[in-house]
């Protein structure tokens, strides 16, 4: 009996030790560190200056004074400057006849820039990468773009590769989430993942007259980013940030939300992205759903308790306020109690301003998003990495700081990621911002379009063919 008891005790101890090891191993595999990232800066000959934009508009003889006035109003209020980038086929006057090769060339240019740069900056070779996640929303060739990337850089034959498409501007964090989950399922605790994010503008430049689809030409620009992630705890000291949590909200079950941003043809068969009037409402709903699940995971208990008490008191006073017809301000939860830096998707000035007001942020908080929109435009899912690059170039990120990323995308989706800075980044270079960070923020964000094309507002009639 004594021998049996000893054997039983040993087996139990061994089982408990094994289970503890499994839990520890799973926890280590679930870690996600941002080792390095790089944003693509296209060549200067692809910049969209005021004159170049005017020439593109002039070429489209379908446009009349009504469309000119609409475009002028949008671009003047867009928050975009004169240093954003467009695809080469537009520069060459072929926006109405893009080729498959144009789209591939745009991707190859991005691969040669950001992907090669991030590997070089991290001191990592392509053969060190175990997992690749690539997302490009509106271009899905065969072989896939991730296969093209694997071929171009010579990744290992056992590399695990994923290709995402159709996920919109929020796909950057979806790709991070996929990479994190894939790393957690592997038996190794030292997985290296490459996340590649861009958008294809070359075949998607809209040349029609549907105003809901003309917005895209004023906001979307060429760009892209690549990031190296790892779950190896030995690399934590080298890492820039550690992912603490990631929350995704998808309200695509709603008809209005699903149709808020759609890649479609207009009445004349011309392809483009349609942004409906239901988009702001869909964004607010998705944002609210996301924050409701995010707040308990990142905010201190004291702030959550304060908000709960104020909310209960408001409900008790609601009947009284209604009877006296007095408006009652809704209590707001203070996200700044748990967040030091807000990395917001620069989808447009209205998007940035809506998030600023909703979260009670200052102009300093949203400066990185506004400056990114001005310098780079809306580069879709890669925009967040340019915003983070601005923070780093401005030496804002210190060890222990907490960074909240927020993205919006078609579907409709709102995704958020909560990071902790692992080390002081004051010695980091400015990356894609290095040639212009000293110019930001500028004295004014007003672009010169109104000065050069304001005469359009004084013209009467609907005729087309006006020369800019």
pLDDT tens string 215-226:
999 999 999 999
pLDDT at residue 27 is higher than 60: no
- pLDDT value at 337 more than 90: yes
Determine what percent of the chain is predicted with pLDDT higher than 90: 71
**Per-residue pLDDT at 427:** 75
| Res 9 pLDDT > 50 | yes
Give which of 413, 425, 408, 402 is closest to 245, Cα–Cα: 402
The confidence score (pLDDT) of residue 315 equals 65
- Looking at residue 463, its pLDDT comes to 47
Chain segment 235-260, per-residue pLDDT in tens:
999 999 999 999 999 999 999 999 99
Q: Is the pLDDT of residue 468 over 50?
A: no
HSE of 280 in the Cβ direction (CA atoms, 13 Å)?
Answer: 10
Say if 4 falls within a structural domain: no
The pLDDT assigned to 13 comes to: 59
Q: What is the pLDDT of residue 23?
A: 42
* Sign of the CA dihedral running 294, 296, 299, 304: positive
- pLDDT for position 149: 97
The pLDDT of residue 6 is 63
Residue 427 lies in a domain: yes
CB 313 within 8 A of CB 246: no
- Rounded-to-integer distance, Cα 164 and Cα 159, Å: 16
3-state secondary structure the chain: CHHHHHHHHHHHHHHHHHHHHHHHHHHHHCCCEEEEEEECCCCHHHECCHHHHHHHHHHCCCCEHHHHHHHHHHHHCCCCCCCCECCHHHHCCCCCCCCHHHHHHHHHHHHHHHHHHHHHHHCCCHHHCCEEEEEECCCCCCCCHHHHHHHHHCCCCCCEEEEECCCHHHHHHHHHHHHHHHHHHCCCCCCEEEEEEECCCHHHCCCCCCHHHHHHHHHECCCEEEEEEECCHHHCCCCCEEEEEEEEEECCCCHHHHCCEEEEECCCCCEEEEECCCHHHHHHHHHHHHHHHHHHHHCCHHHHHHHHHHHHHHHHHHHHHHHHCCCCCCCCCCHHHCCCEEEECCCCHHHHHHHHHHHCCCHHHHHHHHHHHHHHCECHHHHHHHHHHHHHHCCCCCCCCEEEEEEEECCCEEEEEEEEECCCCCCCCCHHHCCCHHHCCCCCCCCCHHHHHHHHHHCCCCCECCCC
| Whole-number Å distance between alpha carbons of 284 and 414 | 9
Given this model, what pLDDT does residue 456 score? 77
pTM: predicted TM-score of the whole model, two decimal places: 0.89
Average pLDDT over residues 264-282: 92
Task: Please give the structure tokens belonging to residue 13.
Answer: 């101890």
Range 398-403 average pLDDT: 97
pLDDT of res. 22: 47
**Which tens digits make up the pLDDT trace of 150-159?**
999 999 999 9
Residue 1 has pLDDT above 60, yes or no: no
- Residue 75, domain member (yes or no): yes
pLDDT more than 70, % of the chain: 87
Residue 130 has pLDDT above 60, yes or no: yes
Check whether 26 has a pLDDT greater than 70: no
Average pLDDT score over residue span 45-63: 90
Give the pLDDT band (50/70/90) at residue 47: very high
* pLDDT value of position 455: 78
Across 400-415, average pLDDT: 96
Residue among 358, 349, 371 nearest 416 (CA): 358
Residue 306: per-residue pLDDT: 87
Residue 430 has pLDDT above 90, yes or no: no
Distance CA 347, CA 169 (A): 8
Q: What is the mean pLDDT of residues 156-163?
A: 97
pLDDT at 206: 94
Tokens of 232: 């190896």
Q: Which of 123-137, 259-273, 404-418, 452-466 has the lowest mean pLDDT?
A: 452-466
Per-residue confidence band for 48, with pLDDT thresholds at 50, 70 and 90: very high
Token output for 104:
């591939």
The angle, 0 to 180 degrees and rounded to 10, between the axes of the packed helices 279-298 and 349-359 is: 40
Give the number of domains in the chain.
1
Q: Which domain holds residue 190?
A: 30-316+330-457
Query: Does residue 231 surpass a pLDDT of 70?
Result: yes
Name the burial class of residue 21, with classes exposed (0-12), middle (13-18) and buried (19+) by CB atoms within 10 angstroms of its CB. exposed
Is 294 part of any domain?
Answer: yes
pLDDT band with cut points at 50, 70 and 90 for residue 84 = very high
> What was the pLDDT predicted at 452?
82
Mean pLDDT score of the chain, rounded to an integer?
A: 89
Average pLDDT over residues 199-221: 93
Pairing label, strands 131-136, 160-164: parallel
Q: What is the mean pLDDT of residues 97-118?
A: 96
Top-confidence range, 158-172, 419-433, 439-453: 158-172
| pLDDT for 174 beyond 90 | yes
What is the model's pLDDT at position 428? 75
Name the burial class of residue 217, with classes exposed (0-12), middle (13-18) and buried (19+) by CB atoms within 10 angstroms of its CB.
buried
Give the pLDDT score at 238: 94
Note whether 207 and 60 are within 8 A (CB). yes
Assigned domain for 67 exists? yes
Which residues, in sequence order, are CB contacts of 137 under 8 Å at separation 6+?
A: 165, 166, 167, 168, 169, 171, 199, 200, 380, 381, 410
Of 297 and 319, the structure prediction assigns the larger pLDDT to 297
Distance of alpha carbon 204 from alpha carbon 282, whole angstroms = 24
> Residue 309's pLDDT is what?
79
pLDDT at residue 141 tops 70: yes
The pLDDT, as a whole number, for residue 465 is 41
Q: What's the CATH number where 392 sits?
A: 3.40.47.10
Residues in the chain: 468
More confident site: 458 or 129: 129
């Amino acid at each position: 009996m004594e021998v049996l008891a000893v054997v039983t005790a040993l087996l139990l101890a061994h089982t408990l030790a094994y289970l503890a090891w499994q839990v520890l191993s799973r926890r280590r595999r679930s870690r996600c560190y941002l080792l390095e990232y790089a944003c693509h800066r296209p060549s200067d000959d692809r910049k969209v200056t005021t004159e170049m934009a005017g020439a593109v508009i002039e070429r489209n003889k379908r446009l009349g004074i009504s469309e000119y006035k609409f475009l002028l109003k949008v671009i003047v209020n867009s928050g975009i400057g004169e240093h954003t980038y467009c695809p080469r086929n537009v520069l060459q006057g072929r926006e109405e006849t893009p080729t498959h090769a144009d789209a591939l060339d745009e991707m190859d240019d991005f691969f040669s820039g950001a992907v090669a740069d991030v590997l070089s900056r991290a001191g990592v070779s392509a053969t060190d990468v175990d997992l690749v996640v690539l997302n490009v929303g509106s271009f899905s060739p065969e072989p896939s773009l991730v296969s093209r990337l694997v071929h171009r850089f010579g990744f290992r034959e056992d590399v695990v590769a994923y290709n995402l498409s159709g996920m919109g501007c929020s796909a950057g964090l979806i790709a991070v989430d996929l990479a994190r989950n894939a790393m957690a399922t592997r038996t190794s605790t030292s997985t290296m993942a490459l996340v590649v994010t861009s958008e294809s503008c070359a075949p998607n430049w809209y040349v029609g007259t549907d105003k809901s689809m003309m917005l895209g030409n004023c906001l979307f620009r060429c760009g892209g980013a690549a990031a190296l992630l790892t779950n190896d705890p030995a690399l934590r000291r080298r890492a820039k940030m550690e992912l603490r949590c990631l929350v995704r909200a998808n309200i695509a079950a709603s008809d209005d939300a699903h149709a808020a941003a759609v890649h479609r043809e207009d009445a004349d068969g011309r392809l483009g992205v349609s942004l409906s009037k239901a988009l702001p409402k869909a964004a607010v709903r998705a944002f609210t759903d996301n924050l409701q699940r995010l707040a308990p995971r990142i905010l201190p208990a004291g702030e959550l308790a304060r908000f709960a008490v104020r909310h209960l008191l408001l409900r008790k006073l609601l009947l009284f306020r209604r009877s006296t017809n007095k408006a009652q301000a809704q209590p707001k939860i203070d996200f700044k109690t748990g967040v030091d830096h807000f990395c917001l998707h620069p989808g447009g000035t209205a998007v940035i301003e809506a998030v600023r007001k909703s979260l009670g942020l200052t102009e300093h908080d949203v400066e990185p998003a506004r400056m990114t929109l001005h310098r780079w435009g809306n580069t879709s899912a890669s925009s967040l990495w340019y915003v983070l690059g601005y923070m780093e170039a401005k030496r804002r990120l210190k060890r222990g700081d907490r960074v909240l990323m927020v993205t919006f995308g078609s579907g409709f989706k709102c995704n958020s990621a909560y990071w902790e800075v692992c080390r002081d980044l004051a010695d980091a270079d400015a990356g894609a911002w290095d040639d212009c960070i000293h110019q930001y923020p500028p004295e004014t964000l007003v672009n010169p379009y109104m000065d050069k094309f304001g005469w359009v507002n004084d013209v009467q009639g609907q005729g087309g063919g006006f020369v800019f």
